[in-house]
Amino acid sequence: MTDGYVGSIGRGGVRVQGAPVASYPRRVPEAVRGEVRRITVVGEDVLHRPCREVTAFGTPGLSRLIDDMFATNEVAEGAGLAANQVGEDLRLFVWDITDDWGVRHVGHIANPTLEELPSGQRHLSDEAEGCLSVPGPYRTVPRPDLAVVRGRDKDGAPLVIEGRGYFARCLQHETDHLHGRLYLDRLTRREQQSALREMAGAADGVHARRAARAAGLGARGPAAT
């Protein structure tokens, strides 16, 4: 079966690595090539410490990791995924997300740094937020509705990505991961405990849905079987 294509002239268009493209497959090519990995869960050490910087660019290993991250994100129906969520201690994340204006954003970034916004641009948005490593619960987390991250692509070229609304939230959420922080860390202790209880009751169902989706997509990898 061939993938359908979406154009950049539709409702909102598509931006890959921050740049508009004329057309793009519905399934990210990296996801087709990649293998599904197990997603780490809250409590695992790799999620709770700062990640190492990427220093080896343009390598087959880095490309393969990005492919696997896209495949894993697709199966989990995520908006983004950080490397430590597949057990890799590296400052790297991927995204495939449609923003509030219907623009689809797809890409990856290594060693991202969030720019400090001028006070006049810091408008907080209170929206529900979840995490693939905290399967099940969503909680309201205030975040700025604009985010700019600077980093490098897999070949080491400089990259600047700007996001607004939901995409801004995604960029901030994934950058948090690389500092060893989960969205739970932005909640009160009572809210954290409530979310963890909800996760305990929902996790089996979430994992079953991911397995079913992997089977439906014909995804490869030990976490897809």
Q: What residues are annotated to the active site? A: 174
Pairing state between β 23-25 and 19-21: unpaired
Phi, psi of 49, rounded to the nearest 5 degrees: -145, 155
Which residues have a Cβ under 8 Å from the Cβ of 169 and sit 6 or more positions away? Answer: 125, 127, 129, 141, 143, 145, 147, 163
Positions of E strands within 72-219: 80-82, 92-98, 104-114, 124-131, 134-144, 146-152, 158-164
What's the rounded Cα separation, in Å, for the pair 46 and 84? 6
Closest by CA position to 129, among listed 86, 180, 177: 177
User: CA quadruple 55, 20, 122, 133: dihedral positive or negative?
Assistant: negative
What's the rounded Cα separation, in Å, for the pair 61 and 65? 6
Other beta carbons within 10 Å of 142: 10
